[in-house]
Chains A and B, each alone.
Chain A
């Protein structure tokens, strides 16, 4: 049962980091144009690397 003492904090830390990432993404405008970005990635790349 001592494994719980490790696993639960790990689960919580992972969960918190996911939540933190979501907060960051929301604040940095990642969700501002869901329609546009969905279409944009289908468009041609005007400056291909190769």
Chain B
């Protein structure tokens, strides 16, 4: 990965500074490793990392072009780095969550002071003179009214918006309860009466704001994960300028008509047509097939495919923003809209809750009038119903659970995109896997168990002269020898001299000594018997365990792949998955998912490629590997870090536990209401009872959420700073 960071550097005087987004830093050890590593570089004056936002600030004396060196240092330490690009949505989110925090702090201040005064009134009882009581009430009013007006704004604004759109939401009963509680209390104070609800009004505001702050933190965290992934994806292309120089530009700046060079092993930056060069292309991310395609002048290439042969010169036909990806993107967006139709549990609860509560309050009012109560009693009791049923516990029930659940997943390298993704994940009953790159490693490996080590060393030495994937698969085997007089016969094989032996590597026909119609890769040393090398895309080490764990979690499994039937079936047999579908186009993957959904089965899609993206976006929940394509990760709810599937069962376990906790919390909140509402209707709710009931129910709900911390046990993929502190401790001893 080459990223030209120099253009993101700010300079003032001789001091340059840069903000980077860091991938893979998850603990204090990582933090120390990064900061100390950079500070030890010459001329670096400042290196400070923010672990919550994964942002690193570096400042140094010298030129801007050292930036790429720092990125390289970080990469050597095991972290990925991309430029931090400030974005408006991010700034707005931050401002919003700061506002909520301020409102919560003000509400806490007001609540504590009013509570001091209220406790005096409650415990003073009959011993307190009417004048003192009135003084305390007026003081409470002086504190509570401005604070309620300030801290209640988030609710008032949202309720007003809903009412103007002629709908209701949870904030309507909340705002109503706050305003009525304050209004009633002010009237009672004016009349010199005994009971006021200023403390209840502020407690409502405070507890609900706690829920909102938690929710905002959750959104900041999940949004950050998405942006972080995007920032690490800034890729560069090498463009040829009019005066024949090569310049490095971000792929987003490419325009139709630009000429770019793509070296061997690089990714095609945008859709275009080959002008010169002949090569082989790895289109696995687009088609899902592992076999290479031959390309030459005049061929149209899609962005995202990888050049595996000689350098190619391309003329770009579409800007990267609207290339072949555009079709896929359109499908992804359509899918995401269906996901957006998912109604969050809290909203479903609110829809049932609001009408019931308001009817109860109305009934109370009418009931008391019919029973011969004064209008004042009727109004006080109706308002008491509204205050006591105000969805405090309900407002806390969901965010508290989700913050804990998402926090646990983050710490274990499972990034989740939103709180409702967690809810959707819990409903899943069937898992559809992509094959290439998801269940398998996504690259060809050679099985050389049948080849003697000395021969293997000779073959490996020869293979290093080629970048053909079959040869590349042999590069990993150690050799001290080097090959001479190497000749590559295109489409057939390699031959050369290694340590005095004539070595051939390639097709059976090329190698000789075997009947030439036998498929596969062969090698032959001098005139010995030819050796067969079996090439395969091996199954991931953790795949079997993951599949077993998912099955143990009562999920049915299937594989849908764009690859050939035989390969897909082999993988299915090896893992014990019998529902396999091979040779499918991206759009067919989508139909496959829809078919399951139409039968009423919520589906989790796990994939990594461009061809999986529409299916990922359409499934009820989706997971992608961090090594997958950008678009597949963007279309997914969950991104598994560390290039391992092992986090998937854990994510499902946590999601299900979170859903159980949320439902329990709703049950607790409803149980509380069933106790409290009759008391309120019959006029037994004093301000003291209201305060106790509200705080007790919120506390119980929060404590229940914290039980999420104990769910499941999963190590998580290793991260670079993991053993840093242990090492340090040992060094200190």
What string of 1s and 0s marks CB contacts (under 8 Å) between A5-46 and chain B?
Answer: 000100110011011001100100001111110111011101
Closest to A19 in B: B109
- CB of B270 closer than 8 Å to a CB of A: no
- CB of B52 closer than 8 Å to a CB of A: yes
Residues in A whose Cβ lies below 8 Å from that of B106: 19
Residues in A whose Cβ lies below 8 Å from that of B728: 44
Q: Are A44 and B732 in contact (CB under 8 A)?
A: yes
Indicate which residue in A8, A26, A43 contacts B139 across the interface (CB closer than 8 Å). A8
- CB of B357 closer than 8 Å to a CB of A: no
- CB of B579 closer than 8 Å to a CB of A: no
Q: Are B132 and A1 in contact (CB under 8 A)?
A: yes
Of the listed stretches B26-34, B420-428, B709-717, chain A binds B26-34
Closest to B128 in A: A1
What string of 1s and 0s marks CB contacts (under 8 Å) between B317-352 and chain A?
Answer: 000000000000000000000000000000000000
Residues in B whose Cβ lies below 8 Å from that of A40: 28, 31
Closest to B135 in A: A4
Q: Are A23 and B112 in contact (CB under 8 A)?
A: no
Of the listed stretches B8-16, B97-105, B382-390, chain A binds B97-105
A29 to chain B, nearest CB (A): 10
Known: A15-B113, A40-B28. A33 touches B50 (CB 8 A): yes
- CB of B116 closer than 8 Å to a CB of A: yes
Residues in B whose Cβ lies below 8 Å from that of A43: 28, 31-32, 725
Residues in A whose Cβ lies below 8 Å from that of B143: 12
Residues in A whose Cβ lies below 8 Å from that of B49: 36
Indicate which residue in B27, B36, B52 contacts A34 across the interface (CB closer than 8 Å). B52
- The docked-state distance in angstroms from the alpha carbon of A44 to that of B728 is 8
Known: A33-B50, A40-B31, A43-B28. A15 touches B132 (CB 8 A): no
Closest to B410 in A: A35
Closest to A31 in B: B101
- CB of B499 closer than 8 Å to a CB of A: no
Q: Are B116 and A26 in contact (CB under 8 A)?
A: no
Q: Are B139 and A36 in contact (CB under 8 A)?
A: no
Closest to B721 in A: A39
- The docked-state distance in angstroms from the alpha carbon of A43 to that of B101 is 29
Residues in A whose Cβ lies below 8 Å from that of B135: 4
Closest to A32 in B: B50
Known: A19-B109, A43-B32. A33 touches B51 (CB 8 A): yes
Q: Are B105 and A36 in contact (CB under 8 A)?
A: no
Q: Are A39 and B132 in contact (CB under 8 A)?
A: no
B158 to chain A, nearest CB (A): 22
- The docked-state distance in angstroms from the alpha carbon of A40 to that of B98 is 23
Q: Are A39 and B28 in contact (CB under 8 A)?
A: yes
Residues in B whose Cβ lies below 8 Å from that of A8: 117, 139
Residues in B whose Cβ lies below 8 Å from that of A39: 27-28, 31, 51
Q: Are A36 and B732 in contact (CB under 8 A)?
A: no
- The docked-state distance in angstroms from the alpha carbon of A42 to that of B725 is 9
Residues in A whose Cβ lies below 8 Å from that of B32: 43-44
Residues in A whose Cβ lies below 8 Å from that of B132: 1, 4
Instruction: Report the contact-size class of chain B (Cβ under 8 Å from the partner).
Output: 20 to 34
- The docked-state distance in angstroms from the alpha carbon of A10 to that of B143 is 14
Residues in B whose Cβ lies below 8 Å from that of A4: 132, 135
Indicate which residue in A18, A19, A32, A46 contacts B52 across the interface (CB closer than 8 Å). A32
Residues in B whose Cβ lies below 8 Å from that of A26: 98, 101-102, 105
Residues in A whose Cβ lies below 8 Å from that of B51: 33, 35-36, 39
- The docked-state distance in angstroms from the alpha carbon of A11 to that of B139 is 12
Indicate which residue in B28, B109, B139, B732 contacts A15 across the interface (CB closer than 8 Å). B109
- The docked-state distance in angstroms from the alpha carbon of A26 to that of B50 is 16
Residues in A whose Cβ lies below 8 Å from that of B109: 15-16, 18-19
B107 to chain A, nearest CB (A): 10
- CB of B53 closer than 8 Å to a CB of A: yes
- The docked-state distance in angstroms from the alpha carbon of A34 to that of B101 is 14
- The docked-state distance in angstroms from the alpha carbon of A46 to that of B49 is 16
Q: Are A36 and B113 in contact (CB under 8 A)?
A: no
Residues in B whose Cβ lies below 8 Å from that of A44: 32, 728, 732
Residues in A whose Cβ lies below 8 Å from that of B113: 11-12, 15
B residues 21-47 near A (Cβ < 8 Å) are 27-28, 31-32, 36
What string of 1s and 0s marks CB contacts (under 8 Å) between B414-436 and chain A?
Answer: 00000000000000000000000
- The docked-state distance in angstroms from the alpha carbon of A19 to that of B146 is 14
Q: Are A33 and B27 in contact (CB under 8 A)?
A: no
Q: Are B732 and A33 in contact (CB under 8 A)?
A: no
Q: Are B98 and A33 in contact (CB under 8 A)?
A: no
Q: Are B102 and A23 in contact (CB under 8 A)?
A: yes
Indicate which residue in B52, B98, B101 contacts A36 across the interface (CB closer than 8 Å). B52
- The docked-state distance in angstroms from the alpha carbon of A19 to that of B328 is 51
A15 to chain B, nearest CB (A): 5
A45 to chain B, nearest CB (A): 11
- The docked-state distance in angstroms from the alpha carbon of A4 to that of B132 is 10
B204 to chain A, nearest CB (A): 19
Known: A4-B132, A11-B113, A32-B50. A19 touches B31 (CB 8 A): no
A49 to chain B, nearest CB (A): 17
What string of 1s and 0s marks CB contacts (under 8 Å) between B112-141 and chain A?
Answer: 110011000000000001001001000100
Closest to B139 in A: A8
Residues in B whose Cβ lies below 8 Å from that of A42: 28, 725
Q: Are A33 and B52 in contact (CB under 8 A)?
A: yes
B residues 148-168 near A (Cβ < 8 Å) are none
Beyond A1-B132, A12-B113, A39-B31, 8 extra complex contacts between A and B, CB < 8 Å = A8-B139, A19-B105, A36-B49, A36-B51, A39-B51, A40-B31, A43-B725, A46-B36
A-B residue pairs in contact (CB < 8 Å), sample of 23: A1-B129, A8-B117, A8-B139, A11-B116, A12-B143, A15-B112, A15-B113, A16-B109, A19-B105, A19-B109, A23-B102, A26-B98, A32-B53, A33-B53, A35-B52, A36-B28, A36-B52, A38-B28, A43-B725, A44-B32, A44-B728, A44-B732, A46-B36
Which A-B residue pairs are the 10 nearest by beta carbons? Answer: A39-B28, A36-B51, A33-B50, A35-B51, A19-B109, A35-B52, A33-B52, A22-B105, A43-B32, A15-B113
B: residues with CB less than 8 A from A are 27-28, 31-32, 36, 49-53, 98, 101-102, 105-106, 109, 112-113, 116-117, 129, 132, 135, 139, 143, 725, 728, 732
